[in-house]
A and B are shown apart, each in its own frame.
Chain A
């Protein structure tokens, strides 16, 4: 009888710890790439996942951070290398290019006009939609610093936080779906 009670207790503890470890119905995505096509895929999956009843979290790192720059926001006080980087890297979602068949910008212009014709949401529209749906955005602080981007040049987004790798890993650990784009 005593043994049975002990076993029951053990089982209860095991269940409790398993319950804590269980991943939630969430999608965590790393957006490393800054190309238009890949960014479209990332935002379609993020908005789609909210429609499916999931939570969605996106982590922007390296070239991905350029997607969140605001073209209209001027920044001052950058050193010469940061200025050069800022000039060479696309300034925001409206400026990014296709990963393939860009053809000096012609391919990107063609795909954009095709998207319009076929009623496909633009990257800017998808970012706004993601904001409305409550998709969380985290930006890698180290990448921002490396590229010389300042916080004041990033877009106005309802749920935007700056963080490091630990925050991503915590979220990924709690998510049933993880993707690297």
Chain B
């Protein structure tokens, strides 16, 4: 079990296939302030590559990623 980061908001994206995880995370990140952290949980294996690509393009930072069975958890710091 990895150490849990603190987050200011959580997004449950389980069961959603492409493109919904990145569409929802791009909306969700706007609900927190710059510097705050969003926790997003997906079950879409494609998001392992999609989230970093989205973060690079949108100028946000992925602090941590971990996988637990089917679930993938991202901690994303709003940086833009």
* B20→A52 contact, CB < 8 A: no
Say which size band chain B's interface belongs to.
10 to 19
What total of chain A residues lie within 8 Å of the partner, measured CB to CB? 14
Task: Indicate if B15 sits at the interface (CB-CB under 8 A).
Answer: yes
Partner of A48, one of B16, B19, B27, B59: B19
Cβ of B22 and Cβ of A53 under 8 Å apart? no
CA–CA, A54 to B59, complex, Å?
Answer: 12
Residues of A within 8 A of B16 (CB): 119
Evaluate contact between A52 and B15: CB separation under 8 angstroms: no
How far does the alpha carbon of A51 sit from the alpha carbon of B19 in the complex, in Å? 9
For window 118-155 of A, CB contacts with B under 8 Å fall at: 118-121, 129, 133
A89 CB-CB contact with B under 8 Å: no
Name which residue of chain A comes closest to B50, CB basis: A48
In the complex, what residue of chain B is closest to A25 when comparing beta carbons?
B57
B1 at the binding interface (Cβ < 8 Å): no
Asked whether B17 lies within 8 Å of A52 as measured between CB atoms, the reply is no
Whether a CB of chain B sits under 8 angstroms from the CB of A44 is: yes
Q: Does A160 make an interface contact (CB < 8 A)? A: no
Q: Are A50 and B26 within 8 A (Cβ)?
A: yes
CB <8 Å contact, B58 and A52: yes
3 tightest CB-CB pairs across the interface, nearest first? A51-B26, A48-B19, A53-B58
Binding site for A on B (CB under 8 A): 15-20, 22-23, 25-27, 53-54, 57-59
15 chain-A/chain-B pairs, Cβ below 8 angstroms: A44-B18, A44-B19, A47-B23, A48-B22, A48-B23, A51-B22, A51-B25, A51-B58, A52-B54, A52-B58, A53-B58, A54-B57, A120-B17, A121-B20, A129-B23
